[in-house]
Amino acid sequence: MNSTTMNSTLDKLRAILRRDLLTAIRHRSGFVVTLVGVFTELAAFYFLSRAIGPGFRPNGVEYFPFLLVGTGVYTFFVMSAQAFLSAVQEAQQTGTLEVLMTTSTAPAELVILSSISAFAGNLVNLLVYLFAGVAVFRAAIHANFFSCVAVLILSLAIALALGIAAATLQVAFQKGSALLWLLGSGLWFLSGTMFPIQSLPRPLELLARVVPLTYAIDGMRGALLEGQSMTAMAPTLAVLAGFGVVLLPLALAGLSLSLRRARQDGTLSFY
């Protein structure tokens, strides 16, 4: 990529981030509702862990920090994909999707830049969630910064693939929400969000081990709660990288095909 192309791409990213930031700021009530939601959810988990008692220590850590990281990473995944899907649905409903597809920006570039914006917002939410858990509800953490960043970056690629897959189904069959609902409830159950996957019956535990989110949550718990080094986490990081390398190109190819088919059938703005 030469410097002119790089500058042009950064300029487009800036425009997309600015659009989403201005829209979010002008939706003031949405921001307040999100903040109230964060504190209510954390309070519920805090009192749940107190009710269960200090004797329950999944993977050797206290239950509240275990829940904090599990639900935080799960919410980040699903809400990022949801935000991305909502952007596509809204663009279909308002008619902007067709117009966006006639700009000088290639559809794949547009999708990736838009997703960065969707993820940036949810990354802020995740950080607020974790910070509130630690600062207000006194969750005990022992973080390794570099391991946290490595897990986050690799998890992002997988979350991006999930979001693009939902957008693909939305463009192709107008059914992106159904996929997200299915994945959301399935992932919540199978990824060890609220309890260790070892508690599941053996067949379900094996199924949980092929779910990428399981490794993202497990990795973040290791990095944030146990301070594991990148060397110690190498197997988990390798699995996350493998999922990203396979899923992301597949999702992009699927989206490219669905956009082409929609342009052929004239269904780009159907919803």
Partner 1 sequence: MDRVVFESVRKIFRHRPALFNWLGRERGGETIALKDVSFSAGRAEVLALLGPNGSGKTTALKLISTMLLPDAGSVLVGGFDARRNAGEVRRQVGIAVATERSFFPRLSARENLEFFAALDEVSRSERARRIKEVLRDTGLEEQADTLVMKFSSGMYQRLGIARALVKRPSVLLLDEPTRSLDAATTAHFWSTIRALARQQTTVLLATHNFAEAAAIADRLLLLHRGELLADRAMGDGESADALRAFYFRMTGEIDEAMGAIHRAGSAP
Torsion angle in degrees (nearest 10) through CA of 88, 119, 36, 183: 70
Q: Which stretch binds partner 1 (CB under 8 A): 36-44, 100-108, 119-127, 194-202?
A: 100-108
Which residue, 138 or 263, is less far from partner 1 as judged by CB?
263
Contact between 266 and partner 1 per CB under 8 A: yes
What would the DSSP string read from start to end of 51-83? HH-TT--GGGS-HHHHHHHHHHHHHHHHHHHHH
The Cα–Cα gap between 154 and 139 comes to 25
The Cα–Cα gap between 12 and 200 comes to 46
| Min dist. Cβ of residue 103 to partner 1 (A) | 4
Which residue, 11 or 43, is less far from partner 1 as judged by CB?
11
Contact between 173 and partner 1 per CB under 8 A: yes
| Min dist. Cβ of residue 260 to partner 1 (A) | 7
94, 185, 198, 199: residue in contact with partner 1 (rule CB under 8 A): 94
The Cα–Cα gap between 47 and 64 comes to 9
22, 136, 149, 204: residue in contact with partner 1 (rule CB under 8 A): 22
Contact between 34 and partner 1 per CB under 8 A: no
Torsion angle in degrees (nearest 10) through CA of 18, 23, 27, 28: 10
6, 14, 31, 198: residue in contact with partner 1 (rule CB under 8 A): 14
The Cα–Cα gap between 268 and 259 comes to 7
Question: Given the rule CB under 8 A, which residues bind partner 1?
Answer: 8, 11-12, 14-16, 18-19, 22-23, 26-27, 94-96, 98-106, 110, 173, 260, 263-266, 268-269
